[in-house]
Amino acid sequence: MAAESGKIDPMHQFQVEPLFGQDWTVAGHSIAFTNSSLWMLITLVAVWLFMLGGMKRELVPGRWQAAVEGVTGFISNMMETNVGPAGRKFVPYVFSLFMFILFANMLGLLPVGIIPGVHPFTVTSHLTITAVLAIVSFGIVLAVGFAKHGLHFFSLFVPHGAPWWMLPILIPVEFVSFMVRPFSLALRLFVAMTAGHILLKVLAGFVINGLNAEAFWVAPVVSLPSLILMIGISALELLVAAIQAYVFALLTSLYLNDAINLH
């Protein structure tokens, strides 16, 4: 972490570095295997291993199976309440989204940095990733909306019971609020993850610089409170990791509800 000069760069953790395959290209674009790719694959394997525990399919579930069934039941209940019976079709997609974001967020918080040379990487702290996920969700919403309602889907921009003379004002507002959805989806997750990690890294820098300080009183006054704050904020970050995954899935389900049932 740029410790050469005693400086700690809180942004360094977001650096994407190619691990191998720098010369791999598809249609002229590099698809090098980076630390980001590695953590995506770790996320994939972790999700798959977790779900494997639910595949015993016993009548009386064990703890692991009950946990897996709890998560699937959580997502399918959410779709049921927000979208209705038609929402069941979208459970696989929303579930994948939720699990991918949740596991990526959680794995990025693993304290594997204590092993020299190993750095955790939070996939969802990258705008490219969150933007692609948001665009995919938004694209599904548009596709479902136009496939189900055709051009009638535009009535989404007409609020219920609004007087006709308000429509010239309301329709642009509704249109903007609709079009801003993918940005709000992508930016919310990206900002929440980035900000939390920067905060933790800044506090970690306080701890380390305080311990390295020449004046003996700096360590207890600076490092100890920073460490205590880090512990609390780490717990908070775990909560944020889960909440951001939930919010992404919840908003996707609400947008799908708009597309399926209009409003």
Partner 1 sequence: MPQIAQISEIFASQLFWLTISFGLIFFVVGLGMVPKIQGTVDARDARIAADLATAASARETADRLEAEHRAALDKSRSEAAAVAAEAKAAAAQATETRVKAADAAAGTRIEDAMRRIAEARLSAEAEVEAVAADAAAAMVARVAGLTVDEDAARAAVKQELVRG
- Name the residues that contact partner 1, by CB under 8 A: 11-12, 14-16, 18, 26, 29-34, 36-37, 40-41, 43-44, 47-48, 51-52, 54-55, 57-59, 68-69, 72-73, 76, 91-93, 95-96, 99-100, 125-129, 132-133, 190, 194
Minimum distance between the CB of residue 83 and partner 1, rounded to whole angstroms?
16
CB nearer partner 1, residue 65 or residue 154: 65
CB nearer partner 1, residue 69 or residue 258: 69
Q: How far apart are CA 199 and CA 234, in angstroms?
A: 10
CB nearer partner 1, residue 52 or residue 228: 52
Phi-psi sector, 57: left (phi>0), alpha (psi -120 to 50), beta: left
Minimum distance between the CB of residue 247 and partner 1, rounded to whole angstroms?
18
Minimum distance between the CB of residue 153 and partner 1, rounded to whole angstroms?
25
Q: How far apart are CA 122 and CA 184, in angstroms?
A: 19
CB nearer partner 1, residue 37 or residue 209: 37
Minimum distance between the CB of residue 127 and partner 1, rounded to whole angstroms?
5
CB nearer partner 1, residue 33 or residue 157: 33
* Cα–Cα nearest to 127, from 191, 199, 181: 191
Q: How far apart are CA 122 and CA 126, in angstroms?
A: 8
Minimum distance between the CB of residue 26 and partner 1, rounded to whole angstroms?
7
Cβ neighbours of residue 248 closer than 8 Å, sequence gap 6 or more: 97, 98, 101, 133, 185, 188, 189
Largest Cα–Cα distance in the chain? 73
Minimum distance between the CB of residue 223 and partner 1, rounded to whole angstroms?
27
CB nearer partner 1, residue 44 or residue 219: 44
Minimum distance between the CB of residue 40 and partner 1, rounded to whole angstroms?
4
CB nearer partner 1, residue 73 or residue 139: 73
